[in-house]
Structures are given as C-alpha cells and as structure tokens.
Chain A
Amino acid sequence: MENEAGALSRVAGLFSARGYNIESLSVAPTEDPTLSRMTLVTSGSDEVIEQVTKQLNKLIEVVKVIDLIDGNHIERELMLVKVKAVGDDRDEIKRLADIFRGCIIDVTDKSYTIELTGTSSKLDAFLDAIDNSAVLETVRTGASGIGRGDWVLKV
C-alpha cells in the first residue's frame, strides 16, 4: 500500500467495521519508500476471505492484495521473551533456546531475554515448552510473509 499516514488506520478500520478478525498485522516501508508492505493474518470462511480481499482492494491506498495461502510461501515472526533464569534453570533454558534456534540477547543474574524467529506455531511451541511461571514478558511482531521461489510481488 501507499506509504501514507492514515493507510494503516483505514485497513484496521475496515476490519473492525465489517467484523473481520485480525490475528496479527505487521507493516513497514519497503525498498521503494513510497510503498509499505503489510502482512495481515486473518481467518474466516472462503466467502469471508473473498470479501476481505475485495474490500481491501477497494481502499484507495491499497495497491495490491495477495492471499499468500494460495501459493507456496514462507512466514516468519519475531518474538522477544524475558524469562526467569536462576540456578539450574539457567542451563535448562539455554538448552531449550538452542533447540529452538533462539539466541539469548540480554542477561542478568535473574533473567534471560531470548530472541526467537519462526512461524507463529513454532513460537507458540517454545512458550509451551518452558514453564509458564518462568515467563516474565513476551513481545511478538506478528507474522511477515513472502512467496517462495523466484516469484515476486511487484506493483
């Protein structure tokens, strides 16, 4: 979409006005600074998704809409988690972070901050794997997606 003030609120407003749900939404400018790219995760029946697509296309600032689910695609989300890490837990948590290919990016004597990327379900799996009471804080970006292979989305 056009990298203009207000474009984001039009999309968000459309979803709330028409009762569509937003599971996550991430947006930032692209290599062409006049454009930004938004990845939005939603759910609904085929009819609802068809309407969502058509309604998004109708927004004047939206340049192009594709449904990544229609083709092969890659999807990644970034999560930062602050966990309690004292005593024996420190090793255990480090091992777990390694298994999930996370990195510990900040350390105190009571906590670790772990950076993790992957599909949203991988991030969920990591949170499931560690003791719930150890989690102090999480922050997630929502998914970003791109098509696989040589195919590119250009306007």
Chain B
Amino acid sequence: MNEELTGAEITIRCLQAEGVDCIFGYPGGAVLFIYDELFKQDKVRHILVRHEQAAVHAADGYARSSNKVGVALVTSGPGVTNAVTGIATAYMDSIPLVVISGQVPTNAIGLDAFQEVDTVGITRPCVKHNFLVNDISELAITMKKAFYIAATGRPGPVLVDIPKDVTQQKMAFTYPEKVSMRSYNPVIRGNLKQVKKAVELILSAKRPVIYTGGGVILSDAAKQLTELAKMLDYPCTNTLMGLGGFPATDRQFIGMLGMHGTYEANMAMQYCDVLIAIGARFDDRVIGNPKHFSNENRKIIHIDIDPSSISKRVKVDIPIVGNVPDVLKELIKLLKSTKENPDQTALSEWWKQIDLWRERDCLKFDRQSDIIKPQMVVEKLYEVTKGDAFVTSDVGQHQMWAAQFYKFDKPRRWINSGGLGTMGFGMPAAMGVQLANPKGKVACITGEASIQMCIQELSTCKQYKLPLKIVNLNNRYMGMVRQWQEFFHGNRYAESYMNALPDFIKLAESYGHVGMRIERPEDIEDALREAFKLKDQLVFLDFITDQTENVFPMVPGGKGLSEMILV
C-alpha cells in the first residue's frame, strides 16, 4: 500500500507526474493547503503574479511558446472571477491549460459561503471541460483527465475546482498511467478516401491557395506544411493565429489574410479555384462577408481536427477530420507517389497575377516622416532581433502592425490573443514565454491603453528578473477604436482618447526597470539595440508615434474580401 497523502500533496504530485516545472498563481484561503505543499517541494516552481488574469495569460504564453500544458492556480471566488478573462482568451485560441481553483469546503457549497462562486457554472461556456472534485478518491484521476483533455484533440483550457476539505483529506496516491474515456476519442488520421479525393483536387487546381491557421501551430505541423507548399509551389497565406506556420520570408508567402491582411492574400483567397484550408476556421475576420465570399466559385478542402469547425461558416467540398501533421504526411506521400503534376502553365499565370497584386505594395507607409511611424518600429525590431525574437502583443493597431511587419519564419514565435482580442494579454503572456524560454529574446508590442490593463505585472517581472522588452507604440489613443470612429462614425472620437497617461519611464523605473522614451525616427534603431544589450533588464521603450496612422488594408465589416480600403 502506498503511503497516504493529503489532497493538497496529491495535487502537487500530479503536477510533478505531468512534468510541470512552472505554474502561475495567487494564493487565498481555499488553496492554502496546496500552497503549503508547494512550499515544501522544489520540483514545481511557482510564479506569483499580481492579478489572477495575468496568471492565466502567463500560463497561456508559456503553453503557446512551448507546446506544453500551461498551469495556473487561483483561489475561490474573486480568484476565479479574475481568472475568467484569461480562461476565455485561451479557449477562443484553443490553448491547452489546466487551471486549478480552490473552492469552499464541500459542506459549505450552496450556502453562499465566504468567497463562494459557482466556478464550474461561471466557466462552463469558456472551457473545453471542467470538473468539481467532490471526493479525494477522484482527485488523481481528474487531474489525469484534465491534462489529457487539455492537450489532445482540439486543445483548450480545462478547469479543476477543488474544495478545501478535499485538499485536507488523505488517501493513498497512485497516478494513473493512462486514461481512456468512452465519450472522448479525438480523431488523428484523416479518412484515406477523403485524402485521395483531396490529392486529385489539388492536382487539378489552376489558381490554388493554401490557407493555414492556428491548427498548424498548435499541432507543430510547420515542417509538413512547408514541405507540402514547396513541392507544389502553391501560394500560402496565414491567419493571424497561423503566422510562423510557413516562413514569412519565403517567396511563396503572400502575407496574412483577412480584415487587415495583404491585398495579394485577400485577392488570391477571393479568386482562387482550389482552396486548401489547414487548421483554420474561416473566421469572420478572415473571409469578410460570407455571402460575398461564396459569390466566387471555388472548391474547398478543409483539414481540421474539430468537425464543428468544418462547414460552420463556409460550406466545404472535401472535409478531412484529423490531426494536421498526420493528414499532411498522408497527403505528401500520395502526392509523391502519383505521376500527375499540377498544370504548370496555369500556375505560372496565377503567380503572375499574384505578383501584379503584390506590386500594389499595400503595406507602404511614409518612411520620410519626422514623426515616428509605428510600422517603422516593428520593422526595426525585426532587424535588430534578426527575426529571432518571441513577440507577444496586446490588442489594437499595434497588434496588426506587429503581425504585418515582423516576419515570422518559425512557429510559436508570435503570441497574441486573436479570438477574444484581450487587451492586457501582452505583458503577462510575455512573462510566460520568457519562463518557458529563459534564453530567448522576448518583446511585447503593446499600446498605451492595452499595457495599462495588466501594468501591475511590472512587479512580477521585477521579482523574477524577467528581461522583457516592452515596445509601447504610444499614439495617445485607443488607436483601433479611433480608426473605426474615423472611418465609420464621422470622426467622433468618443472616449478613445486617454488624457492623463502616466509617465511610463518613471513608472518602469519605480519598479527597478529601465525606461526609455523615443521621439525621433532616427533614434528607433539605437534604442532597440541598447535595450537588447541590457540582457538582464526589463526595458520599457515608450515610442511616441504618429497619432493619425491607420492600419491598411482594411476590409470593413460586412464587406467582401476584395473590397478593401487601401492606402
């Protein structure tokens, strides 16, 4: 018989058994026994954040940049409600997390006990699954299931709610080696018949486009994707979540598509005859008006592990349910064994057309300006870091410029909140990235509004000496909101201007960090170089940028993909 352990000890042992080396959290009454056990061991490192939202974002950044499950630990009641934004953010982008929350003792549940909330109820719509552990006998198996569900199939956050008395009860501990659930069996391999049909269609294409998304990143399929695209010489576009899945510096890369995608990507998407969609979900910010999108005739192949992503917004012709790398391997094998080749004449015509679209130079901006252009800062960041940094972002114009101007050649380097669009994500996510990649260069591209939503984390960065480089594109506006107001609300800038910004330099310094203000375009590069030379310091770079700059191209709401507003 194994020795008896308390629920709190079992919780920590489960984390150890899962190989978790780092968790993010904030203590409180309901989780004190768990914290006590954390204290007594040194395998699992705990990072103390300053707000539970940040704990979840940090676990999320950790997961996105490493392909490990991120773990957060919060107390009951307000600990959980603070965490909800982080959980919903991870849910929308399919990020594998296990969130452990304390709960009031089982005999107090339902009695409006101190710091009681219906955690399972509150989080139900924004988790892949959640559990309330009613008895210590269920604890280990529930933890096992939580990690399994979070990481397999279409990944997502799983919450485990543990009442305080369960953390005190004792039981012999064995961690289950395997778990099988009759109601949960994610598909891995694609249906061979469908893959064969896909090969035929791919070879018949005259104007093909490969459109890939977060699924390629989540499943580590960049290698297979690149091989497929290279052997076919087809153009490739990525969603915001898919950047880095195909090298951005490659000639075949036609840029991001969608609301702020490139002219060439959106035109190619609209006018292709065969669309190969891989791990992407035809989001409303990607295809614009679905009616307008279906006006053009094209055949669509869609590879996705989640059947509900397929034919949800756009009807597809060849659905393939499966794990991207497995399906692509099969596809590549079949393509290699067939004697047929795509129509090279048609393909070169198509490339000619795409190159014409490219000549439109849709991302151009005024390089002579004496006010700092935000695009220039991102470009310089790319040069100074030689394209090798991990870049997180917040939400707004700066996010779009980061996506457009930092050329991601590798997966898991671009970390942002796409589905929920959570301001405040950038800095805590960067903390998680830095902890998962201690040697990596980590930059957080943010805006003066977003950064203030989790600014308290400067303190966490100080405690753990996280040398982030915060690139604040400070336009003194909620720029993205201002842009919409300029375009669609008659220049009425309702509440999008922030009077009374803090002095970010002094603020950073007050936490023991380095602050720099950069006001002239000619100083951008030096400032960035200097910042990255300070290897052990967090540097807050406050770039005073052009307030009037807008993000182009833009597909206005309700418009079709080819109806972009261009510069």
Judged by a CB distance under 8 angstroms, whether A95 is at the interface is: no
How extensive is the interface on chain B, given as a class? 10 to 19
From the candidates A6, A50, A155, name the one contacting B182 in the complex (CB within 8 A): A155
- A30-71 near B? 1/0 per residue, CB < 8 Å: 000000000000000001001100110110111100000000
Pairwise interchain contact B306-A60, C-beta atoms closer than 8 A: no
The segment out of B118-126, B426-434, B481-489, B540-548 that lies at the interface is B118-126
A9 to B124, CA, bound (A): 9
Q: Distance in Å from the Cβ of A48 to the closest Cβ of chain B?
A: 11
Residue numbers in B under 8 Å from A9 (CB-CB): 121, 124
A43 to B51, CA, bound (A): 44
Residues A6 and B120 in contact in the complex (CB < 8 Å), given A13-B125, A57-B307, A58-B306: yes
Residues A60 and B311 in contact in the complex (CB < 8 Å), given A10-B124, A13-B124: no
Residue numbers in B under 8 Å from A57 (CB-CB): 307-308
Judged by a CB distance under 8 angstroms, whether A153 is at the interface is: no
Judged by a CB distance under 8 angstroms, whether B183 is at the interface is: yes
Residue numbers in A under 8 Å from B470 (CB-CB): none
Judged by a CB distance under 8 angstroms, whether A17 is at the interface is: yes
Pairwise interchain contact A51-B312, C-beta atoms closer than 8 A: yes
A59 to B182, CA, bound (A): 12
Residues A62 and B183 in contact in the complex (CB < 8 Å), given A6-B120, A10-B124: yes
Residue numbers in B under 8 Å from A63 (CB-CB): 182-183
Tell me what chain B mostly uses at the interface: helix, strand, loop, or mixed.
mixed
A92 to B181, CA, bound (A): 56
Q: Distance in Å from the Cβ of B348 to the closest Cβ of chain A?
A: 38
Pairwise interchain contact B311-A50, C-beta atoms closer than 8 A: yes
Q: Distance in Å from the Cβ of B179 to the closest Cβ of chain A?
A: 12
Residue numbers in B under 8 Å from A80 (CB-CB): none
Tell me what chain A mostly uses at the interface: helix, strand, loop, or mixed.
helix
Residue numbers in B under 8 Å from A55 (CB-CB): 308
A61 to B124, CA, bound (A): 13
Residue numbers in B under 8 Å from A116 (CB-CB): none
Closest to B120 in A: A6
Judged by a CB distance under 8 angstroms, whether B144 is at the interface is: no
Q: Distance in Å from the Cβ of A60 to the closest Cβ of chain B?
A: 4
Which residues of B in the span 97-153 have a Cβ within 8 Å of any Cβ on A? 120-121, 124-125, 128-129, 132, 149
Residue numbers in A under 8 Å from B307 (CB-CB): 54, 57
Residue numbers in A under 8 Å from B308 (CB-CB): 51, 54-55, 57-58
A58 to B184, CA, bound (A): 8
**7 shortest interchain CB distances as A-B pairs:** A54-B308, A63-B183, A60-B129, A54-B307, A17-B125, A60-B184, A55-B308
State the A residues within 8 Å of B (CB).
Answer: 1-2, 6, 9-10, 13, 17, 47, 50-51, 54-55, 57-58, 60-63, 155
Jot down 20 A-B pairs with beta carbons below 8 A, ordered by A.
A1-B183, A6-B132, A9-B124, A10-B124, A13-B124, A13-B125, A17-B125, A47-B315, A51-B308, A54-B307, A54-B308, A55-B308, A57-B307, A58-B306, A60-B128, A60-B181, A60-B183, A61-B183, A62-B183, A155-B182
| Apart from A2-B183, A47-B311, A47-B315, 4 more pairs, CB < 8 Å | A17-B125, A54-B307, A54-B308, A58-B308
